[in-house]
Structure 1
Amino acid sequence: MAFSTGNDSGGPMAEINVTPLVDVMLVLLIIFMITTPLMSHKVQVELPQANLLKREENAPPVPPITIAVKEDGKLFWNDEPITKEVLESRLSVEAQKTPQPQVNLRGDKTTKYRIIAEVVKTAQAQGIRKVGYVATKER
């Protein structure tokens, strides 16, 4: 491979050629100049303000509600047997409270998900915002 030295000494050239570097930098500058105006939002949207309910410091925390579902579809409200109609009415009453309690849903290992999904759908239809699942920790 032949090197151009530009002089008669025959050794390699020790100066750095900055022309390719300048070319790349100019291309990047042009790309950023074109894409920067596209990053600004054309449509102005007024976002809603967060409505965080502040709990009084001396108010006791609201205990969660536990709904247990057996394999055959039997429902239990804090270990008390109930029917689906009673569940709907109690959930609608609890949904009106401020702050709203969390609903913890426990299901047997062999309970079909369809039954649990019906309970979750009922809770959401009544206005409950926090529905969680309870499981045992693996060992």
Structure 2
Amino acid sequence: MSQEIVEVKEIGSGGVWVEGIQKSACGSCNARKGCGHASLAELGRPMRLWISTSERLDAGQHVVLDLPDGALAASATTLYGLPLVALIIGAISGQNLGGDTAALVLGGGGLVAGFLLARHLASRNRERWQPRIVSVCERPGF
């Protein structure tokens, strides 16, 4: 698991909005050109996340988040890849069974089925993929 220091931006019912740019891995690996984290860090665009917590925090505080290994890749593959694969399988099956109209219908059906399955898998894995607050930093600037 990787840990990142982020700033609490807003307090909400049942959690907080945090914002930060992941920097921990950006200077330490060789995949900088193909890495989304390095690209975001170069752009200087902050990542904003909703974190469920019962801990009492204030806007402006810094906290340490624990990000589960592989959670981003697993969730992105599930939410984007699964519907796309289901669309392609449905379209190919439809083309083989009955031509363009069947490909359109089965492709659309596959896309909808893929989104429903992705939604089910995402809700089932929500706890495993969710970042958690590990600790509150004593002072900003650490």
- State the TM bucket, normalised to the shorter chain: under 0.3
TM-score (norm 1): 0.23
Q: Tell me which of the two structures has the higher relative contact order, counting C-alpha pairs closer than 8 angstroms and 6 or more residues apart.
A: 2
Work out which of the two has the higher radius of gyration on C-alpha atoms and give 1 or 2: 1
